[in-house]
Amino acid sequence: MVEGIKVLHCADLHLGSELTGAPGSAAQRKQELLGTFRRITNICRDEGVDLLLIAGDMFEGANVDDATVQSVKEYLKNMGSTVAAIAPGNHDYVSIDSPFAGNNWPENVIIFRSDLAKVEFPERGFAVCGAGFTCTYQRESLLEDAGGLMLDSSLINICVLHGDLGPNGAISDYNLVTEAQLAASGFSYVALGHIHKRTAILRTGPCSYSYPGCPDGRGFDELGEKGVYIGTVSKNTARLEFRPVCSRMFLSEAIDISGLNSEGEIVRLVLAELQTRYGSDFGRHYYKLQLTGSIDETFVLPLATIREVLSESLYFVKIADHTHIEVDYEELAKESSLRGIFVRKMLERIAAADRAEHAGRRSQLPIVALDTSGPAADNSERDGVRQITETDKLKRALELGIMSFDGEVKLDEY
Amino acid sequence: MNIEKIYIDSFGKFERFELDLGSDFNVIYGNNEDGKSTLMAFVRMMFYGDTSRSRNNIREKLRELYRPWHSDRMGGSIRFCADGARYQLDRNFGKTNSSDKIKITNLDTGADIPLMRNQEPGQIFFDLGLEAFEKSVFIGQNGSLISGTGKDDEIMQRLLNLVTTGEENTSYKKVADKLDAARQKLQGKQKAKGLLPESHSKLAQLRTERDQALQNEQAKANAQFEIERMREQQLELSGKRDVFRSRLKLLAVDKEQQELEKAIKRRKELDQKTDELLKLKRELERPDIVLDDSFIVAAEQKINEYNQLINNLEETEVQQQEQQKKLEELQSAAIREIPEGRTETLRQLEKDIAQTERERNALSDEIDKLQELSNLEQEHAELTSSLETGKTALAEIKEATEFASEKYEKLKQERQDHLNAQKGLKNEIEEAQRLNRQAELELNNAQNKLKSVSDQFNLRISMAEQQLEKARQPQVYQEDIPACREIKKPLVAAGIAIALLSLILGIIVDPFLFLLIIAAAIILVFSVRKVPARTITRQSTDPRAVEQAEKQLQQEQFIFNQDKTSAEQELEAVHVKNQEAAAQEETLRKQAAELDEILAKAEQQLESADSDYDEKKAQLAKLQADFEALEKQIEGKKASIADKRGPIIEKRAADDFETDVLISENQKQLAELNQKYNQMAQSLATGLADFDVQTLEEIYQLEKLWNSHKLQLEAAAKSAGESAEKIAELKQKLTGKKQELLDFVSSYKTAESVDHVLVLLDELEHKIARINNLNAEIIGYQSSFKDTENKAIPELEAQLQQVSQLLNELKASSGPTASNETSELVEPGDTIEPGASSEPVDLNTLEQRISDLEVQINELGGRIAGSEGSIREKYRKLRNVSQIDNEIEQMEEKIEKISTDLDVLGIAAKAMEEAFEEVQRSFGPLVNTRTAAIFKELTQGKYSNVAVSRDFSITFENSSDRSLREWGYLSSGTIDQAYLALRLAITELVTNGKEALPLLLDDIFTLYDDTRAAEGMRFISEYHQNGDKAQQVLLFTCHSRIADMGAKLGANSIILARDVDYDDA
């Protein structure tokens, strides 16, 4: 009986996606995503990984081009002794035109094409189970049949699955997986996919599980460093670590340019700041910069020029002007002018709304972690998306109102 | 602007009062009634006069209020400097502004400043109207008394109006427009589609696309199900095919065994045939010749030649016999002989006869032609004669035509003369008619005149008679009688009578009766009556008028008679003239009628002459035409004659011949020829009679018959000789040919006769045919062997043994189920022999089955591949549901963000609108700001903010706790401070940008406590120095503490003495 096996857990690669909404060169980005996958398979080969777990949405869809599929097959084939287990997800569900439809996959690749199934490797001391989506919406939980697998308790049993982690009784279009199911499943590790933001290595009962997130971002809704989980899974533990593999990062950065009043100064500050934050090769990332702070009333921010100059050093950059002219609203409210009265009225409303919200917050129960309100086809990276309160709206209304006195009313890009 | 000096000549209580003022803060102190208000009123009236008309409130009628106490005059002067120049304003007050005497002198230049009608000096120098002046720089006690009661609302309202909120309006519009523009960008406006509608539209598209993607997914699932079903079918068919294949193999081995057995048998037969062939070949083998089909053909050729010779000999012998027989028949035939040359003589004679005949005919023709020529010449002569006659007739008719023409012209001239005469006469008649009409007109006029004269005079006479009648009637007229005293004579008489009677009776009767005199006196009094002015109507006849009318009548009648006689004479004269004119016209008309008759005759004659002329012209034309035709005919004849004569001339070589002479010559020649012809005909007839024939043709026939017979005899004799020679030659050839044949056949076997040769050849032919058959059979056997069979018999037998063994093995391996499987292979359509149901299906059927199955399997494979391919192709470029869901999610987030921004913009716009409404409700930000600033200073920072609304309420913000307070909760002193601040603020705003105007303050700190008053004074003293424009302040007060404060603050203090007689001073 082996102590543990080495696994690499990745998900949601979305290979072949055209990235029409992504900035920069879509074709290049597509190749970069494929390159990231190649790096993953190289790690498997070079580091003697026993089991590569791909937890769904490996492909963007059935419409992925043949060249990409062919490359994927080659990379998988060249992994040496690594076994790859693929559980198709809602994007690449098994269908007649799916890349998984054919039988010409390398021998070391296991594709779970429908209900929960098991493949044992007794000589290597593990068994891998999994299930695949056969349509977009998998409303019946695939893990429900785990009991029927008759797992061999002498082996390290690992499961790979695409699905939506949620509480008991929740409803999900994407294969609801509950902690209760996981705890009772008998698996040492369940490799999940679907959520693009990685979780920690979680544990329920004897079962460890996690979402590694996507290994490479595809837009500014997938921010930060992306990668895979790699490590050892033994009968009772899963010692996995995050390993970045992304080619580039999507980064949204706020940079305070208070007091600066020339394009050169701003560019220098931005580059210095980004270098501090992301090291010497900071230039390769995608940046969405918000220039913040207060600037001189007379200084018109030359956004286009700044963007142009920054583009020389950064792979991709877009800039939003979130600067403001230093305004003491309390003082402004004393003015017996239209502006003063407007500010006073807005401050009154903000104060009232703030009081109401404080009162409301005290009386409300904590918000449930999982938002099951609408379809989230993937990448549900909803952390940090705070509900906009009435106070927020009023503050924004105050800003826009003041903007209307000074110049154009600038709205954010949508 | 600074007021330097006030001089009051006479105004209110002041007489010849002078007041010099400092250029900055002046505190003018005096007790009540000392004239503070009077001084302020003086300044106000000097600059603006007074137009108040209140009847009831004397305080509002300043002219009345400040009427001088000691003088009738009212006026004074003010010296001031403005805009860098010094001026003096003199004003003597009349009853109204317009009657005031105003003089403004520029003291620097001495020039007078003219005023326009109704213009007041204040309007020039303060640049304010009276109301504005009173609402700003002129702060009376009224101003300071504005209190919580709100009594002075009206003034405040007017003040308010001074300050507009124009700037704020503009500012609001800009701001609102910007917010609105941002909203429009999001939600669109009219045609321009905003981001939100666009996003909604895209979202709807995405949802539609998603629905379609779901349908596609379902369609793919269905297709997949169908493909799976086909795969299963394909698998089933493949199984069936495999069973068929194993059965096929069994049958193939069985077949191979059978074929091997057959092959061994065939191999043995082949060996037999080969032996026989060798034997036959050896039998026919010769050293020098090959006995094959060509040998037989050559021998047969020779036999044919021999037979041909025999046939020729027989034919020639038959021919020779027939020729002999024909010769004999010809020799015995009876054919008459025709001597040579006889027929030639007859033929020459016949030719001569024919020649003579032709000559005779030619001569006859010539005679005919000459006859025709003779006729033509005669016709020509006749036509020439006719032409001559025609010429004469033509000359005659020409003459007649000319005569007719002349006659016509003459008549035409005559008619024209008549027409002219008629025209002249017509004019005369018209003239006579005109005269006649004129005479009638004159007659009418004369009659009318007579009638008119009669009518006129009748009228005039009638009028004169009426006049007379009128004159004879009495005239009624009005007479105005002026007022007078009328004496009633009877009463006077009566009065006198009674008086007399009284006197008489008094004397006589009783003196008492003198009293009657009183009665008389009374009557006399009443006899004189007062008659008023009146008009009375009177009547009278004027005899002068009657006389005048009678005279007039007579005169009218006399004139009428004169005029009437004159008119009647005139009428008579005109009547005579009229009759004469009628007679003249009648005469002329008769003449005209006669002329018409003459003209009618002339017309008839002219017409007759015209028709005659036309007829002659027609005749002439016809004759000319005939003449020309005749000439043409003659020409024709001439040509014909020339044509006829031409050949004759040519023939005779002389053109002078007489036709008739020539005819007689020719007729003579013709008679000679006839004679010659008859002689020759006689000779021919004699020749024909010699041969008993009628015609020369018959002799020719006889001659031909004789010649032919002679030729036949010669030919028959020759043919008979030739045939005899040929028979001898053929007999010799035949002998040679027979020997040659016998020699040739002897290569095979020796023959004794030609018949024997035939027997031998037949035998040889059979042997050769057998060899050929054997050869073909051997080749057939050899080709029937497969490669595997092309072996020696022992090898084949060994192979057979192996196959038999394999078959046994296969049968053993398929075991007892084989037959069952076979039965499964039998398809419903197969024909199965009775009792052979368990027999294996034959090889071909099995192969066919397998082939069919292969087709079906391939077809299914094709369908599966096609279906998969088409699905892949169909959905290759389509996005799946999850991809679209992602985009929908992004779009929803975008919409939410846009909606939030729209909400936010809405909130901002609403708050802005409310702020603007508040601005509109207040005095406006400028007033508020400045008021607040002044108020803050006045209250030493206690209140930092005020808002003055249009209902004059002021809201205060307490600096310490930022609490807002309504003015009603504050002390009246604070309220006064606030309103002072407001007034000062308004003053600033009103004079904004101009020269500072003097502030006239009338005891504004009355209600202030000492502290607050001190603060106020300090403020005022500082306030006037504020900024770059020093402002003159005139503070009037009746409070000594204020005056003291002013003094302490360095103000120019002026004390007005109580009850000082300024006049004396």
Residue B742: the pLDDT is: 87
Question: What dihedral do alpha carbons B769, B775, B777, B782 form, nearest 10°?
Answer: -170
Residue B141: per-residue pLDDT:
60
For residue B376, name the pLDDT band (cuts at 50, 70, 90): confident
Which of A231, A254, A190 lies closest to A47, judged by CA? A231
Which residues from chain B sit within 8 angstroms of residue A340, using beta carbons? 925
Q: Calculate helix-pair angle for B195-283, B817-825, nearest 10 degrees.
A: 110
Work out the angle between the directed axes of helices B195-283 and B881-921 (0-180°, nearest 10).
170
- What are the pLDDT digits (tens) for B560-580? 888 888 888 888 888 888 888
* Alpha-carbon gap, residue B538 to B479, rounded angstroms: 7
Say which range, A84-93, A244-253, B347-356, B542-551, has the weakest mean pLDDT. Answer: B542-551
Q: How sure is the predictor about A276, in pLDDT bands with cuts at 50, 70 and 90?
A: very high
CB atoms within 10 A of CB B711: 9
Confidence class of residue B163 from pLDDT cuts 50, 70 and 90? very low
| Start-to-end Cα distance in chain B | 29
Spatial distance between the Cα atoms of A66 and B873, rounded to a whole number of angstroms: 12
Q: From the CB of residue B247, how many other CB atoms can be counted at a distance below 10 Å?
A: 22
| Most confident range, picked from A192-201, A258-267, B377-386, B1034-1043 | A192-201
Are the C-beta atoms of B9 and B1034 separated by less than 8 Å? no
Together in a domain, A153 and A240: yes
Q: Are residues A264 and A394 in the same domain?
A: no
Q: Do B945 and A336 touch (CB under 8 A)?
A: yes
Which residue of B221, B880, B907 is in closest CB contact with A393? Answer: B907
Residue B834 predicted with pLDDT over 60: no
Average pLDDT over every residue of B775-782: 88
Q: Are residues A314 and A378 in the same domain?
A: no
Mean pLDDT for the stretch of residues A122-136: 93
Q: How much is the pLDDT for B150?
A: 38
pLDDT classification of A270: cutoffs 50, 70, 90: very high
Quick check: A338 and B171 CB within 8 A?
A: yes
What value does the mean pLDDT of chain B take? 81
Q: Do A81 and A127 share a structural domain?
A: yes
**Domain shared by A331 and A408, yes or no:** yes
Region of poorest pLDDT, from A61-75, A297-311, B814-828: B814-828
A379 and A331 assigned to the same domain: yes
Give the tens place of pLDDT for each residue, B779-821: 888 888 777 777 888 888 888 888 888 888 877 776 554 444 4
Contact check, Cβ <8 Å, A376/B889: yes
How far is the C-alpha of B423 from the C-alpha of B442, rounded, in Å? Answer: 28
Residue A46, pLDDT score: 94
Structure confidence at residue B103 as a pLDDT band (50, 70, 90):
very high
Phi and psi torsions of B971, nearest 5°: -75, 155
Residue A10, SS3 per DSSP: strand
Q: Do B181 and A409 count as a contact with CB atoms less than 8 A apart? A: yes
pLDDT value at A382 more than 50:
no
Tokens, residue B793: 């018999």
Q: What is the pLDDT of residue B908?
A: 93
- What confidence score (pLDDT) does residue A365 get? 43
Q: Convert the pLDDT of each residue in B11-51 to its tens digit.
A: 888 888 899 998 888 999 888 777 888 888 899 899 988 87
Q: Name the band, by pLDDT with cuts 50, 70 and 90, for residue A372.
A: very low
Residue B1061 burial by Cβ neighbours in a 10 Å radius (0-12, 13-18, 19+): exposed
Residues A308 and A362 occupy one common structural domain: no
DSSP string, B972-1023: HHHHHHHHHHHHHHHHHHHTTTSPPPPEEEESTTTT--HHHHHHHHHHHHHH
Cα gap B921→B927, rounded to integer Å: 12
Give the residue from chain B lying closest to A17, CA to CA.
B883
Tell me the chain A residues in contact with residue B185 when contact means C-beta distances shorter than 8 Å.
411
Percent of chain B surpassing pLDDT 90: 8
Cβ–Cβ gap A349/B911 under 8 Å: yes
The model's confidence at residue B439, banded by pLDDT at 50, 70 and 90, is confident
Mean pLDDT in residue range B346-367: 87
End of a domain among A299, A326, A353? A326
Query: Nearest-CA neighbor of B45 among B19, B12, B86, B4?
Result: B12
Choose between B634 and B1065: higher pLDDT. B634
- Say whether pLDDT at B857 is over 70: yes
Asked if pLDDT for residue A181 goes beyond 70, the answer is: yes
What DSSP string describes B603-660?
HHHHHHHHHHHHHHHHHHHHHHHHHHHHHHHHHHHHHHHHHHHHHHHHHHT-S---HH
pLDDT at B987: 75
Residue of B nearest to A97 (CA): B872
How confident is the model over B200-233, as pLDDT tens digits?
999 999 999 999 999 988 988 898 899 989 999 9
pLDDT digit string (tens) for A301-312? 888 899 999 999
User: What pLDDT shows up at residue B338?
Assistant: 73
B198 to chain A: which residues are within 8 Å by CB?
A: none
Chain A residue numbers touching B877 (CB-CB < 8 A): 63
Per-residue confidence (pLDDT) for residue B449, from 0 to 100: 81
Last residue of a domain, one of A219, A244, A269: A244
Sheet holding A286-292, edge to edge: A250-256, A286-292, A316-321
Strands B138-139, B999-1002: pairing kind: parallel
Q: Inspect the interface and report whether the beta carbons of B894 and A414 lie closer than 8 Å.
A: yes
> Considering only CB atoms, which chain B residues are within 8 Å of A373?
none
Residue range A69-91: average pLDDT? Answer: 94
Give the chain B residue nearest A410 (alpha carbons).
B182
Q: Are residues A124 and A227 in the same domain?
A: yes
Pair A210, A256 in one domain: no
The tokens 């599929």 sit on which residue?
A69
Q: Indicate the residue among A277, A304, A326 that finishes a domain.
A: A326
Among the ranges given (A69-73, B836-840, B899-903), the one the predictor scored with the smallest mean pLDDT: B836-840
Residue with the larger pLDDT of the pair A361 and B728 = B728
3-state secondary structure B489-549: HHHHHHHHHHHHHHHHHHHHCCHHHHHHHHHHHHHHHHHEEEECCEEEEEEECCHHHHHHH
> What's the pLDDT score for residue A375?
41
Q: Per-residue confidence at B480, pLDDT binned at 50, 70, 90?
A: low
Q: What is the per-residue pLDDT for B478?
A: 62
Same domain, A116 and A167: yes
pLDDT value, residue A48: 93
Helix, strand, coil abundance in chain B, percent, nearest 5: 70, 10, 20
The contacts of residue B1056 (CB under 8 Å, 6+ apart) are B28, B29, B30, B31, B34, B35, B36, B39
Model pLDDT, residue B820: 46
Domain tally, chain A: 3
Residues of chain B with pLDDT > 70, as a percent, come to 86
A&B contacts, CB < 8 Å: 163
Cβ burial of A346 (10 Å; 0-12, 13-18, 19+) is buried
**Domain residues for A202?**
4-244
pLDDT value of residue B146: 39
Q: Do A96 and B227 make contact, defined as CB atoms within 8 angstroms?
A: yes
Regarding predicted confidence, which is higher, A280 or B532? A280
Same structural domain, A202 and A293: no
pLDDT over threshold 80, residue B471: no
Residue B973 to residue B979: CA distance in whole angstroms:
10
pLDDT(B162) > 50: no
Residue predicted with more confidence, B548 or A10? A10
Question: pLDDT at residue B621 above 60?
Answer: yes
Chain B CA closest to residue A348: B911
Say yes or no to pLDDT of B545 above 90: no
Average pLDDT value for residue range B601-608? 88
Confidence tier at B475 by pLDDT (50, 70, 90): low
Cα nearest neighbour of B186 on chain A:
A411
What's the whole-number mean pLDDT along residues B625-653?
Answer: 84
Closest CA–CA distance from residue A78 to any residue of chain B (Å)? 28
* pLDDT of res. B454: 82
The pair phi, psi for residue B35, each rounded to 5°, is 105, 20
- Residues of A with Cβ-Cβ distance to B919 under 8 angstroms: 337-338, 341
Both A301 and A192 in one domain: the answer is no
Which segments of B653-753 does DSSP mark as H helices, in order?
A: 659-689, 696-745
Which amino acid is it at A30?
K
User: Which residues have C-beta within 8 Å of that of residue B592, sequence separation ≥ 6?
Assistant: B422, B425, B426, B429
Q: Structure tokens of B1035?
A: 């503070």
Q: φ and ψ at B791, to 5 degrees? A: -135, 175
Which CATH number do you get for residue A137?
3.60.21.10
Q: Which residues contact B359 (CB under 8 A, 6 or more apart)?
A: B673
Mean pLDDT, range B820-835, rounded to an integer: 45
Instruction: State the average pLDDT over residues B726-744.
Output: 87
At residue A33, the pLDDT reads 92
Per residue in B304-320, pLDDT tens? 988 898 898 888 888 88
